[in-house]
């Protein structure tokens, strides 16, 4: 490279620097504003994240403290003061409140809590099913039998995780109504369900013996087979 070329390159580079400095000076206010916005936004997002985590921790501590309260009336009051976001959280609190109400011999209040949890459309389906099954089990004399049977019909479908428990509850309602044949059919279906736990199957077998009903051979085979999925 000749001296003249080197000189021209230096001049060109100097001109570029001058233009850049001039551009920065002319737009210093805007550039500073952009920097402030970026830094401020990052700080705000970090603050909001920290605040959300702290609030979630506080809610969790309050919920746990309420659940651990021994006196059922005090537990109910403590749970009423816990605010949790989302329908699943609310359904969980309702289930816990129902349990406290039952211990406090407040069946009507417990039923109300369970109905709230069961009716929440966007809550966890598992929580809603637990609430519905518990609602049926405690609502004899409080809800019409047909309403309870309708609930159980939704839980007793093939493949449902709670099918065995739902069939057991339905059989008990049918027995109270004097329908031994329908109760026996549900108990036999329970025994034939591979997903039903051995404890539930044992209760069903004992009840069939009391009723003088001999279950079908395939149902007996399934009842005797170990259920590793639920018993393990």
pLDDT in tens, 167-209: 999 999 999 999 999 999 999 999 998 888 899 999 999 999 9
List CB contacts of 128: < 8 A, sequence separation 6 or more: 91, 117, 118, 120
CA angle 170, 175, 180 (to 5 degrees): 105
pLDDT of res. 80 = 82
pLDDT of res. 27 = 66
pLDDT of res. 168 = 94
This prediction has a pTM of: 0.67
Supply the DSSP symbol for 226: -
pLDDT of res. 21 = 63
Determine whether 114 is exposed, middle or buried from the number of CB atoms within 10 Å of its CB (0-12, 13-18, 19+).
buried
**3-state SS track over 92-144:** HHHHHHHHHHHHCCCHHHHHHHHHHHHHCCCCCHHHHHHHHHHHHHHCECCEC
pLDDT of res. 228 = 43
**What parts of the chain have a pLDDT lower than 70?**
1-35, 44-45, 47-48, 50-56, 58-59, 216-232
pLDDT of res. 229 = 43
Q: Measuring CA to CA, which residue among 141, 232, 123 is closest to residue 132?
A: 123
pLDDT of res. 77 = 85
What is the dotted CATH code of the domain comprising 70-140? 1.20.58
């Amino acid at each position: 490279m000749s001296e003249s070329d080197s000189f021209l390159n230096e001049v060109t580079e100097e001109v570029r620097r001058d233009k850049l400095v001039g551009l920065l000076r002319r737009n210093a206010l805007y550039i500073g504003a952009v920097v402030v916005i970026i830094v401020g936004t990052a700080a705000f997002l970090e603050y909001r994240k920290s605040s959300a985590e702290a609030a979630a921790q506080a809610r969790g501590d309050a919920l746990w403290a309420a659940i651990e309260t021994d006196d059922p009336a005090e537990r109910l009051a403590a749970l009423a003061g816990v605010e949790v976001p989302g329908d699943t959280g609310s359904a969980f609190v309702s289930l816990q409140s129902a349990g406290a109400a039952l211990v406090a011999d407040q069946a009507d209040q417990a039923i109300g809590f369970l109905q709230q949890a069961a009716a929440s459309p966007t809550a966890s389906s598992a929580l809603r099913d637990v609430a519905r099954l518990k609602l049926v089990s405690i609502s004899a004399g409080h809800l019409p039998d047909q309403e309870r049977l309708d609930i159980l019909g939704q839980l007793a479908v093939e493949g449902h995780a709670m099918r065995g428990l739902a069939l057991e509850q339905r059989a008990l309602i049918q027995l109270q109504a004097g329908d031994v044949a329908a109760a026996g059919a549900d108990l036999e279906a329970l025994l034939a369900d591979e997903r039903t736990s051995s404890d539930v199957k044992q209760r069903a077998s004992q009840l069939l013996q009391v009723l003088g009903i001999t279950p079908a051979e395939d149902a007996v085979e399934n009842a005797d087979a170990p259920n590793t999925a639920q018993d393990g």
